[in-house]
Amino acid sequence: MFRVLWLVAVLDAVVPLDAGMLFPRESSSRELKELNGLWQFRADRSANRNQGFERAWYKSRLAETGPVIDMPVPASFNDITQDPSLRDFIGWVWYEREAVVPSRWITDQGTRVVLRVGSAHYNSVVWVNGQKVMEHTGGHLPFEAEIGSLIRKDPTMTCRITIAVNNTLTLETLPPGTIQHMSDRSKYPDGFFVQNIYFDFFNYAGIHRSVLLYTTPKAYVDDITVVTDFLDNTGLVRYNISVQGAAAATMKVTLMDKDGHCVASSNEASGVLKVVDVKLWWPYLMHENPGYLYSMEVRLMAGDERATYEDVYALPVGIRTVKVTNTQFLINNEPFYFHGVNKHEDSDIRGKGFDWPLIVKDFNLIKWLGANSFRTSHYPYAEEILQMCDRHGIVVIDECPGVGIKDIRSFGNASLAHHLDVMDELVRRDKNHPSVVMWSVANEPAAEMKPAEFYFMTLIKHTKALDPTRPVTYITDSNYARDKGAPYVDVVCVNSYFSWYHDPGHLEVIPIQLNAQFENWYGKYQKPIIQSEYGADAVSGLHSDPPMMFTEEYQNAVLQSYHDVFDQKRKQYVIGELIWNFADFMTAQGITRVVGNKKGIFTRQRQPKAGAFILKKRYWRLANETGRLPPWTKYPVHSDMLLRCPERQRLDPM
Ligand code: GCB
């Protein structure tokens, strides 16, 4: 009873935005049409980058107002052509395509037609047939608008979609940036300007995730919030469903197990579903059956004077709990040790564009490595990636794009207000993913600055009010004694690069400095610590012994020295280690980057460096020691397919 009341209280604390942002899924009442593929494209190269608005490029076909090129969606536009000025273009770029809308969507007045953009970096304005339908600020989260009434105005017209996207960063965007104009004509050409950024990845831009049209009935399931718990063998799924488009509706909620059997049901829009003999959601390698998902089918019936509507939406639900103590991170009340990676959405040609082959390859590599977790450094990743994490049991620290907050002017009210909005959008989008176990509100902000305390206190309290079920952190690199935001986090996440950015070449400092880092942070805050970044650049194929910086041997040596300290401290309060980085990734050009950041243990093309094998051996060992695997799986095997295979018992350990 107490548990149920707690769940109710928790759910009431969730402060939703005006409307939900459920992932678009097909169902018997919902259709979906992807608009991915080739779009028409033009960069606005006018001096003020504003010609497109001045001449209203959205009013007619883009090809009628100037030259256009083919541009794939989803993809960053930067690496698609041979034109260096497009690679580094800053300002508005214009995308356009026509969509064929099924006639039933138009004739049926009881159907809503929604246009959804998975993400576009950074500011976007969207028109349909020359009418503005939405604007959005922020590069990594979805936005959508209902366009049914607009396309019904003239059913003979095709549906022409124009999207203008601007990658200009300001002190108030997330991440922040500044534009610097160079007026010295003895050094720079007329009109020369650069964008300064304070983060270490290329500011890829364009339409990065799917654009699609989907339908719902006029009365529809707008949002679902699920909070889970369990008591002995009984799972508790507290849910709340919000409905739009109907004053009154009847509801049928059915929770089904993996085999499609109903395990609990209800006729209420909110309540608690009790699941007898619950199968909990467990992380990969912590349990022999990780990533168990139920399906919560919501069937809504409503009507008005003209028609009746039925809407069906199925949400995957994993039942698990998360708790933090002074020294541990508990999933389902069992200690969980993060042995994982930091990633980027980044690859050749596509930049930050969504790409299924890349995503599936990355998951295969994560599992091969024996990693059980990753951090979405340094921005929210595609929803499809989180769905993969839910299904495979990969644990996620979900980070917002608060990276590179280094200028004191980025701690002002406008910045904070935007940061709070972004957290609202992020929590609204990702709150139901069992894989997401912690929110990260920022990476390496200048947390020693005076306004940082108020900024982070507000941000972290706000995030906890949005979602009291998950711990909140931000990632720090600064001195423990000066960090003003640390008192408010639940878990201390520290990045450090000993013998790289400090004492380069001196591997012998790592044990001393890393040990001091942990002791200082724990001594001051008594909170569990994750080493949220560590690593060294290694140019694949570069070798030297004794090890020298930038060689694979040096990367190995750094990893091994860190690991020795982790092994001592994980017996006390260190609860995880995330390598920087999973793969090499592109950055802005600069004297410390050789065609990008090379701290990957895989190359950008996803081939292993020597460090990948060190990590693989370690992670399988950690899985054997810290997971709850049955004895016959306690070998460093390559994939969970083998883990489930009884034949495995006869295989030799590798
Ligand atoms: C960091 C940053 C990350 C960088 C990394 C590095 O601390 O969080 O974005 O890429 O260091 O390699 O310098």
What's the farthest any 2 CA atoms get from each other in the chain? Answer: 82
What pLDDT does residue 632 have?
Answer: 62
Judge if 615 and 571 occupy the same domain. Answer: yes
Q: Do residues 139 and 121 make contact, with C-beta atoms less than 8 angstroms apart?
A: yes
* Dist CA 141 CA 85 (whole Å): 27
Average per-residue pLDDT for the chain? 94
Q: Do residues 598 and 538 make contact, with C-beta atoms less than 8 angstroms apart?
A: yes
- 98-103: long-range contacts (C-beta < 8 A, 24 or more apart)? 98/158, 98/159, 98/160, 98/161, 99/33, 99/35, 99/158, 99/159, 99/161, 99/213, 100/158, 100/159, 101/33, 101/151, 101/158, 101/159, 101/213, 102/31, 102/33, 103/155
- State in Å: Cα 74 to ligand 1 middle: 26
| Lookup: tokens for 582 | 């999973």
Total domains present in the chain: 3
* Dist CA 418 CA 246 (whole Å): 32
584 lines ligand 1 (CB under 6 A): no
Judge if 208 and 356 occupy the same domain. Answer: no
Which residue would you say has higher pLDDT here, 157 or 502? 502
- State in Å: Cα 369 to ligand 1 middle: 22
Judge if 303 and 332 occupy the same domain. Answer: no
Strands (E) in 232-293, as ranges, are: 234-244, 249-256, 262-266, 270-275
| Lookup: tokens for 44 | 């606005």
| Lookup: tokens for 502 | 């400090």
Confidence bin at 485 (pLDDT 50/70/90): very high
Confidence bin at 101 (pLDDT 50/70/90): very high
Confidence bin at 652 (pLDDT 50/70/90): very low
What pLDDT does residue 634 have?
Answer: 57
Residue 501 CA: nearest ligand 1 atom is 13
| CATH number for the domain harbouring residue 295 | 2.60.40.10
Say yes or no to pLDDT of 649 above 90: no
Residue 475 CA: nearest ligand 1 atom is 8
- State in Å: Cα 495 to ligand 1 middle: 8
| CATH number for the domain harbouring residue 84 | 2.60.120.260
Segment 596-621 mean pLDDT: 97
Tokens 């003979």: give the residue. 156
Looking only at the bridges linking them, the beta strands covering 492-495 and 529-533 are parallel
375 lines ligand 1 (CB under 6 A): no
Segment 374-396 mean pLDDT: 98
Residue 535 CA: nearest ligand 1 atom is 12
645 lies in some domain? no
What pLDDT does residue 475 have?
Answer: 97
346 lines ligand 1 (CB under 6 A): no
Q: Is 159 left (phi over 0), alpha (psi -120 to 50) or beta?
A: beta
Which of 256, 266, 252 shows the shortest CA–CA distance to 302? 252
Q: Do residues 398 and 438 make contact, with C-beta atoms less than 8 angstroms apart?
A: yes
Q: Do residues 225 and 430 make contact, with C-beta atoms less than 8 angstroms apart?
A: no
Domain endpoint, select from 317, 332, 357:
317
Three-point CA angle 548, 495, 285, nearest 5°: 95
Say yes or no to pLDDT of 202 above 80: yes
pLDDT tens profile 559-582: 999 999 999 999 999 999 999 999
- State in Å: Cα 596 to ligand 1 middle: 12
Tokens 């003209």: give the residue. 306
Say yes or no to pLDDT of 176 above 50: yes
* Dist CA 55 CA 78 (whole Å): 25
| Lookup: tokens for 12 | 């009431």
Go through 136-175 and write b for each residue having 16 or more CB atoms within 10 A of its CB, e for each that does not: bbbbbbbbbbebbebbbeeeeeebbbbbbbbbbbbbbbbb
Residue 585 CA: nearest ligand 1 atom is 10
96 lies in some domain? yes
200 lines ligand 1 (CB under 6 A): yes
* DSSP string of 358-396, one letter each residue: HHHHHHHHHHHHT--EEE-TTSPPPHHHHHHHHHHT-EE
Q: How far is CA 407 from the centre of its chain?
A: 24
311 lies in some domain? yes
Mutation test residue for ligand 1: of 495, 594, 601, the one with most atoms within 8 Å of CB: 495
Signed CA dihedral, 503, 504, 507, 513: sign only: positive
Mutation test residue for ligand 1: of 533, 539, 597, the one with most atoms within 8 Å of CB: 533
Residue 599 CA: nearest ligand 1 atom is 12
| Lookup: tokens for 32 | 């979906």
- Please name the residue whose Cα sits nearest to atom 7 of ligand 1: 495
What pLDDT does residue 155 have?
Answer: 77
444 lines ligand 1 (CB under 6 A): yes
Go through 445-469 and write b for each residue having 16 or more CB atoms within 10 A of its CB, e for each that does not: bbbebebbbebbeebbebbbebbbb
DSSP bridge partners of 538:
550
443 lines ligand 1 (CB under 6 A): yes
Is 425 catalytic? The answer is: no
Mutation test residue for ligand 1: of 199, 200, 534, the one with most atoms within 8 Å of CB: 200
* Dist CA 459 CA 554 (whole Å): 39
Kindly report whether the peptide bond that precedes residue 378 is cis, defined as omega within 30 degrees of 0: yes
Domain endpoint, select from 217, 240, 258:
217
Say yes or no to pLDDT of 10 above 70: no
Confidence bin at 555 (pLDDT 50/70/90): very high
Segment 43-66 mean pLDDT: 97
Element (H, E) at 163: strand 159-166
Judge if 213 and 224 occupy the same domain. Answer: no
Which of 652, 494, 454, 506 shows the shortest CA–CA distance to 576? 494
* Dist CA 601 CA 623 (whole Å): 19
- Please name the residue whose Cα sits nearest to atom 13 of ligand 1: 200
Segment 227-235 mean pLDDT: 98
Residue 587 CA: nearest ligand 1 atom is 10
Q: How far is CA 275 from the centre of its chain?
A: 30
> What 3-state class would DSSP assign to 640?
helix
pLDDT tens profile 120-141: 999 999 999 999 999 999 999 9
- Please name the residue whose Cα sits nearest to atom 6 of ligand 1: 200
183 lies in some domain? no
Residue 597 CA: nearest ligand 1 atom is 12
- State in Å: Cα 486 to ligand 1 middle: 19
Say yes or no to pLDDT of 73 above 70: yes
Segment 344-350 mean pLDDT: 98
Q: What are phi and psi of 95, to 5 degrees?
A: -120, 145
Kindly report whether the peptide bond that precedes residue 74 is cis, defined as omega within 30 degrees of 0: yes
Q: Tell me, what amino acid is at 270? A: S
Catalytic residue among 444, 533, 552, 577: 444
Percent of the chain with pLDDT over 90: 90
Judge if 341 and 277 occupy the same domain. Answer: no
pLDDT tens profile 444-474: 999 999 999 999 999 999 999 999 999 999 9
108 lines ligand 1 (CB under 6 A): no
Q: Quick one: 281 exposed, middle or buried, by C-beta within 10 A (0-12, 13-18, 19+)?
A: buried
111 lies in some domain? yes
DSSP state of 449: S
Segment 162-184 mean pLDDT: 97
533 lines ligand 1 (CB under 6 A): yes
* Dist CA 422 CA 400 (whole Å): 7
Q: Do residues 300 and 242 make contact, with C-beta atoms less than 8 angstroms apart?
A: no
Tokens 């044990």: give the residue. 511
477 lines ligand 1 (CB under 6 A): yes
Judge if 376 and 274 occupy the same domain. Answer: no
Element (H, E) at 222: strand 220-231
* Dist CA 312 CA 221 (whole Å): 8
Say yes or no to pLDDT of 388 above 80: yes
Say yes or no to pLDDT of 478 above 90: no
CA trace torsion 118, 119, 124, 125 (10° rounding): -10
- Please name the residue whose Cα sits nearest to atom 3 of ligand 1: 200
Judge if 424 and 300 occupy the same domain. Answer: no
Confidence bin at 158 (pLDDT 50/70/90): confident
Question: How many CB atoms neighbour CB 293 within 10 A?
Answer: 19
- State in Å: Cα 444 to ligand 1 middle: 9
| CATH number for the domain harbouring residue 498 | 3.20.20.80
Judge if 139 and 229 occupy the same domain. Answer: no
What pLDDT does residue 159 have?
Answer: 95
431 lines ligand 1 (CB under 6 A): no
Q: Domain limits at 141? A: 31-167+203-217
Question: How many CB atoms neighbour CB 654 within 10 A?
Answer: 10
Confidence bin at 642 (pLDDT 50/70/90): very low
- State in Å: Cα 502 to ligand 1 middle: 13
Q: Do residues 229 and 5 make contact, with C-beta atoms less than 8 angstroms apart?
A: no
Segment 198-210 mean pLDDT: 98
List Cα–Cα distances, 213 to 25, 32, 541, 582, in angstroms. Answer: 11, 6, 46, 34
Segment 400-415 mean pLDDT: 97
What pLDDT does residue 157 have?
Answer: 81
Judge if 462 and 572 occupy the same domain. Answer: yes
Judge if 371 and 299 occupy the same domain. Answer: no
468 lies in some domain? yes
112 lines ligand 1 (CB under 6 A): no
190 lies in some domain? no
- State in Å: Cα 380 to ligand 1 middle: 17
* Dist CA 355 CA 364 (whole Å): 15
Confidence bin at 653 (pLDDT 50/70/90): very low
282 lies in some domain? yes
> What 3-state class would DSSP assign to 92?
strand
Q: What are phi and psi of 153, to 5 degrees?
A: -60, -40
- State in Å: Cα 255 to ligand 1 middle: 43
DSSP state of 411: G
Tokens 């600064």: give the residue. 478
Question: How many CB atoms neighbour CB 476 within 10 A?
Answer: 24
Judge if 333 and 277 occupy the same domain. Answer: no
Judge if 330 and 406 occupy the same domain. Answer: yes
Q: At what angle do helices 413-430 and 383-392 cross, to 10 degrees?
A: 50
